[in-house]
């Protein structure tokens, strides 16, 4: 009999504990939408009341199939659940599910909270009952469950069971400090089931401090748990949380899990896993981890000569799964054949059908290779890739020529003795044989300086002759900069995301030691892509 | 009774299969020396004859306590062990231990080798016996052992046992494709012991394709194996090998392993673990993985406010081990989730002891909160945080005042009709009441333009009066830019990483709608931090 296994994503809450990670509300919404499409069951949105971004996220709950969950803590001692303002903020978020963390380790109850063991159990029961009586689904996060079980097994089991008895849909066993090993998790999970909490009410929440977060999640499921918490790309405090990007394909593709369970993620949405992983990296402006399980760029790269030649005979000789199942692909260095068929597929998805064996294919591959060695990256900058490919295919009009530009940034005191800055750009372009010279300042809606790239973009689009209307609705939505290696020198890579009036979005890339130059090139690519896609007449 | 567990490092062989990794012979020697100091038992140096670097490494064997091991493969069918030139090259390396890989999976024997199952067993026996008869220690790498055991358990066990019967000191069970899960490893390892190979002759070699390499190694030891293979920092083909940097502290610090076993690594050399991990990253010019278990910069970073305040009372509340045991240290990063206790701890680690209740603490928290709302992030930009805190504490001299600056970027055709760009910056500063005006172009080593931030940095540091020598050794090592929300408007956040002649590194942040402005502010913070830390006299 196939059983249901529930996936609970906490990228937006525990994932935000990663050093250097701070989502905006808009980014949280985008990630939630992606998680929903992937098929997770719960999306933990944050802790309402803990910080402005989390509160704002809950003010306008996203419409998802997945349950958006608010996180908080059990009521404090000495007040009723109704009178606890922290708990009230969580309840007021209005989510259909609420997850409350509480203590189950005697040491923490006595030293961190400074209350009696009985009071703590009472806080857990009352808080869970409060959530349930409000008609919400209650989840209880049993903090330090595994450490507690080692220290005082009876008390830890009693505290966890109190949550179940009070009506918690899930009692989630947390390895808060991340130090538990698989045999610890197996033993304590089984003990809780024996103590009377059924496995289909038990969840697992692990951390990667000993690189066992995935194994600990799997062993908990083997012991009976039916709910797994984790984050995309294993984001999370310290060494991160259990990596859902790894757990999902393992559960769907490997026995005994694959034959025993079903999850909200289907074999169809599994194909978007690599894309989802990359999208999160993009939002965070992080370099994707090449060696990531399943989705990493190196996950199916076969460098060893013996492996590569066997792979050519039969991929299953050195691959544990078919990479396309997770939207990834094989990399075999020196394999131009694979390169060309991939390329034709990619071009075809852009509406460019190129015959097998067309010499332009090799020219495109060579140019991509050469430019990637110089620091470019076409993984996300699809529009720049299309411009490059169209050039080689003779399908890219020039539209306009940039003769020169100059941009000045100045910071000085104004008449009121305030430090102010100002950017000014001059761009000279030639359209239809006519040279035009445009100048623009860069001023935001409030009259403040928006910087040199903004000034350049305005000056460039100010007078593009017959293309003026075509480009009038282009808006720059994001701008990412990274220092990377271009050959032996460090260069700047700029990725610009653009959007137009039709809601179309596209990304372009520019590379130069000079950040303004790199930005300008990405900007020009963005305009050219829009013109060619709109069929602007040359 | 305490048993001996043997550690076998394959960083120099399997680790070199990592995409982008290619050691020089000199680097191999440096890594071998470090591994030896750490206390591993075996150092696999490479495959003599497979490539020039590996051959060169074996020509002059390093003098180590650890056994340097040569890797190769069992003799091919149809020739004797004496007449196999590949095997001869491995034997000629003259190491006291030799590790030979051979097939134990029927599918591979029949499809990849195209020989009979019996011939393959014969090759294994003969090859191992050949090594033993030469007076060397023989290790047999049982390729695809776990996949083979699933496909044809009898044959896989028979092939592995043949190596033991022929005198192999260790039969190493390889999860070559990396797809085995812990329960697979447990079952197959136990089966081999039942088939007659004693556990203290069994080794384990795993890969991280499902993030279970560490768990698979541990479960093999629990099942009876007494030899673990892995690499530093988990280098290796595809998703990497079992990470010794994680396994070593787990085996030494966590039960039942810690009380059951002893290894060549002592509690004393364990303290060098973090340093060893960083040294390898340096050799490879890789950015260290912040979230790495035990040794990562974030491994003991406590961002959540609740955790940080408990940590201040007792570190064991949210730490699974004492970070100093592996040479690492605690970080309490500043963020808008932090509280006063978190802050005092952070300040104290910077040498700034502030009394509990000091009103400056709240001012610092308020300013951090306000600035984070404006788009700043002090998670990684610790130096900017210190500058801010010192300002509120009255411990931050101004050193110099920037009166104004102007930077121009120009792209145009040169005399040879090539498009070239040029940046020029003018900075006016006041030091000791004296106003100085400096101008600088931005030229890289090859005379190319390095952009406006480089030009500004040069102009700024060109004439800082009495601080000229203090800042002369500052070097910008990284530069990260992202668009973020500053209140309602999108702003640019720039993080600059700097380094000085003493090898000290620090990060600063600047935020503005104007990218040049943001960079300039981060630059000024970087200089001010260096001056205050060096005790520059004002």
Confirm whether B266 is domain-assigned: no
Cα A380 from Cα B283, distance rounded (Å): 30
Confirm whether A365 is domain-assigned: no
Which of B261, B290, B320 terminates a domain? The answer is: B261
Q: Are A210 and B442 in contact (CB < 8 Å)? A: no
Give residues with Cβ within 8 angstroms of A43, minimum separation 6. Answer: A9, A12, A32, A35, A36, A64, A66, A67, A68, A69
* Angle between helix B305-313 and B340-349 (nearest 10): 60
Contacts of A452 in chain B (CB under 8 A): 409, 452, 514-516
Judged by a CB distance cut-off of 8 A, whether residue A114 touches chain B is no
Judged by a CB distance cut-off of 8 A, whether residue B215 touches chain A is yes
Which of A198, A230, A261 terminates a domain? The answer is: A261
Of the candidates B100, B13, B25, B17, which has an alpha carbon nearest to the alpha carbon of residue B59? B25
Mean pLDDT by 10 residues, chain A (538 residues): 96 92 90 97 94 89 96 92 92 96 96 92 97 98 98 98 98 97 98 98 98 98 98 97 98 97 97 94 82 94 72 85 93 54 79 92 87 78 92 94 95 88 94 93 82 92 88 85 68 88 88 93 96 86
Q: Are B404 and A413 in contact (CB < 8 Å)? A: yes
- Do B359 and B393 touch, CB atoms closer than 8 A? no
Give the H or E element holding residue A233.
Answer: none
Interfacial A residues in 72-91 facing B (CB < 8 Å): none
Residue in A with minimal Cα distance to B21: A303
pLDDT (tens digit per residue) in A306-321: 676 677 778 888 999 9
Confirm whether A317 is domain-assigned: no
Judged by a CB distance cut-off of 8 A, whether residue B515 touches chain A is yes
Q: B70: distance to nearest CA of chain A, Å?
A: 17
At A336 the pLDDT is: 42
Q: Is the dihedral of CA A114, A116, A119, A121 positive or negative?
A: positive
Cα B49 from Cα B89, distance rounded (Å): 6
What distance separates the 2 farthest-apart alpha carbons in chain B? 90
Q: State both tokens at B486.
A: 């500053």
pLDDT (tens digit per residue) in A389-444: 999 999 999 899 999 999 999 999 888 888 889 999 999 999 989 999 999 998 77
Cis check: omega of the bond before B375, within 30 degrees of 0? no
Q: Are B19 and A290 in contact (CB < 8 Å)? A: yes
Confirm whether A181 is domain-assigned: yes
Residue in B with minimal Cα distance to A442: B514
| Backbone torsion region of residue B168, taken as left when φ is above 0, otherwise alpha when ψ lies between -120 and 50, otherwise beta | beta
Residue B390 in this model has a pLDDT that exceeds 90: yes
Confirm whether B232 is domain-assigned: yes
Residue in A with minimal Cα distance to B300: A238
Q: Are B291 and A182 in contact (CB < 8 Å)? A: no
DSSP label at A317? G
Q: State both tokens at B313.
A: 């009372």
Confirm whether B376 is domain-assigned: no
β-pairing verdict for A6-9 and B434-441: unpaired
CA dihedral B26, B27, B28, B33 (to 10 degrees): 90
Neighbours of B133 (CB within 10 A): 12
Strands (E), A180-291: 202-205, 227-230, 261-262
CA dihedral A255, A260, A266, A268 (to 10 degrees): 40
pLDDT (tens digit per residue) in B115-145: 999 999 999 999 999 999 999 999 999 999 9
Residue in B with minimal Cα distance to A408: B408
Q: What percent of chain B has pLDDT over 90?
A: 67
Q: For position A160, which CATH number holds?
A: 3.20.20.70
ipTM beyond cut 0.85: no
Q: Is the dihedral of CA A52, A58, A59, A61 positive or negative?
A: positive
Cα A272 from Cα A38, distance rounded (Å): 7
Residue A468 in 3-state DSSP?
helix
At B489 the pLDDT is: 66
Q: For position B441, which CATH number holds?
A: 3.30.160.270
CA angle B92, B96, B101 (to 5 degrees): 70
Confirm whether B244 is domain-assigned: yes
Q: How far is CA A184 from CA A220, B50, B476, in A?
A: 10, 43, 46
Confirm whether B153 is domain-assigned: yes
pLDDT (tens digit per residue) in B286-339: 778 889 999 998 999 888 767 777 887 788 889 999 999 999 988 876 654 557
* pLDDT average, residue stretch B42-62: 90
Q: Are A301 and B19 in contact (CB < 8 Å)? A: yes
In terms of residue numbers, what domain contains A449?
A: 400-534
Q: Are B238 and A181 in contact (CB < 8 Å)? A: no
Q: State both tokens at B1.
A: 């009774």
Neighbours of B353 (CB within 10 A): 8
Cα A284 from Cα A278, distance rounded (Å): 10
Residue B5 in this model has a pLDDT that exceeds 90: yes
Give residues with Cβ within 8 angstroms of B301, minimum separation 6. Answer: A19, A237, A238, B330, B331, B332, B333
At A337 the pLDDT is: 46
Q: Are B379 and A22 in contact (CB < 8 Å)? A: yes
Q: B457: distance to nearest CA of chain A, Å?
A: 13
At B18 the pLDDT is: 87
Task: Quote the number of domains for chain A.
Answer: 2
Residue in A with minimal Cα distance to B109: A317
Which of A214, A240, A261 terminates a domain? The answer is: A261
Contacts of A299 in chain B (CB under 8 A): 209, 238-239
Q: Are B480 and A285 in contact (CB < 8 Å)? A: yes
Judged by a CB distance cut-off of 8 A, whether residue B153 touches chain A is no
- Do A302 and A309 touch, CB atoms closer than 8 A? no
pLDDT (tens digit per residue) in B220-263: 999 999 999 999 999 999 999 999 999 999 999 999 999 999 99
Q: What are the backbone dihedrals phi and psi of residue B71, each rounded to the nearest 5 degrees, phi first?
A: -105, 145
B431-440 as b/e: b if 16+ CB within 10 A? beeeeeebeb
pLDDT (tens digit per residue) in B471-529: 999 988 778 787 776 555 678 889 898 888 887 889 999 999 899 999 999 999 999 99
């Amino acid at each position: 009999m196939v059983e249901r296994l529930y996936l609970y994503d906490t990228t937006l809450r525990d994932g935000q504990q990663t050093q250097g990670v701070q989502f905006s509300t808009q980014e949280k919404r985008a990630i939630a939408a992606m998680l929903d499409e992937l098929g997770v069951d719960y999306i933990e949105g944050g802790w309402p009341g803990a910080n402005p971004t989390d509160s704002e996220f809950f003010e306008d709950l996203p419409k998802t199939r997945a349950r958006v969950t608010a996180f908080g803590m059990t009521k404090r001692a000495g007040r009723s659940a109704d009178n606890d303002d922290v708990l009230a903020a969580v309840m007021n978020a209005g989510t259909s599910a609420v997850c409350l963390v509480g203590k189950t380790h005697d040491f923490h109850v006595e030293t961190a909270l400074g209350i009696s063991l009985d009071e703590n159990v009472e806080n857990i029961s009352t808080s869970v009952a409060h959530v349930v009586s409000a008609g919400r689904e209650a989840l209880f996060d049993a903090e330090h469950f595994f450490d507690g079980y080692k220290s005082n097994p009876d008390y830890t089991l009693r505290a966890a069971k109190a949550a179940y008895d009070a009506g918690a849909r899930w009692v989630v066993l947390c390895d808060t400090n991340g130090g538990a090993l698989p045999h610890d998790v197996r033993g304590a999970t089984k003990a809780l089931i024996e103590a009377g909490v059924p496995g289909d009410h038990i969840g697992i929440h692990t951390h990667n401090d000993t690189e066992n977060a995935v194994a600990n999640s799997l062993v908990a499921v083997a012991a009976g748990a039916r709910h797994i918490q984790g984050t995309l790309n294993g984001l999370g405090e310290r060494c991160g949380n259990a990596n859902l990007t790894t757990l999902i394909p393992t559960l769907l593709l490997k026995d005994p899990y694959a034959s025993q369970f079903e999850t909200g993620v289907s074999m169809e949405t599994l194909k978007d896993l690599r894309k989802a992983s990359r999208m999160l990296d993009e939002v965070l402006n992080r370099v994707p981890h090449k060696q990531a399980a399943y989705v990493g760029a190196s996950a199916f790269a076969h460098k060893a000569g013996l492996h590569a030649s066997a792979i050519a005979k039969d991929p299953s000789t050195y691959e544990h799964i078919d990479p396309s199942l997770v939207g990834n692909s094989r990399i075999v260095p020196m394999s131009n054949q694979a390169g060309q068929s991939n390329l034709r597929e990619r071009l075809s998805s852009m509406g460019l059908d190129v015959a097998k064996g067309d010499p332009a294919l090799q020219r495109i591959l060579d140019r991509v290779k050469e430019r990637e060695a110089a620091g470019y990256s076409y993984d996300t900058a699809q529009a720049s890739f299309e411009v490059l490919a169209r050039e080689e295919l003779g399908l890219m009009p020039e539209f306009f020529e940039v003769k020169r530009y100059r941009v000045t940034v100045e910071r000085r005191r104004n008449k009121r003795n305030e430090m102010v800055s100002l950017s000014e750009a001059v761009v000279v372009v030639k359209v239809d044989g006519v040279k035009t010279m445009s100048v623009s300042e860069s001023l935001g809606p409030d009259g403040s300086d928006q910087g040199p790239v903004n000034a350049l973009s305005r000056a460039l689009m100010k007078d593009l002759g017959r293309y003026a209307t075509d480009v009038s609705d282009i808006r720059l939505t994001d701008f990412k900069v990274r220092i990377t290696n271009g050959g032996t020198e460090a260069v700047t890579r700029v990725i610009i995301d653009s959007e137009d009036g039709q809601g179309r979005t596209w990304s372009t890339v520019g590379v130069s030691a000079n950040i303004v130059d790199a930005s300008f090139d990405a900007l020009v690519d963005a305009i050219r892509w829009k013109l060619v896609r709109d069929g602007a007449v040359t």
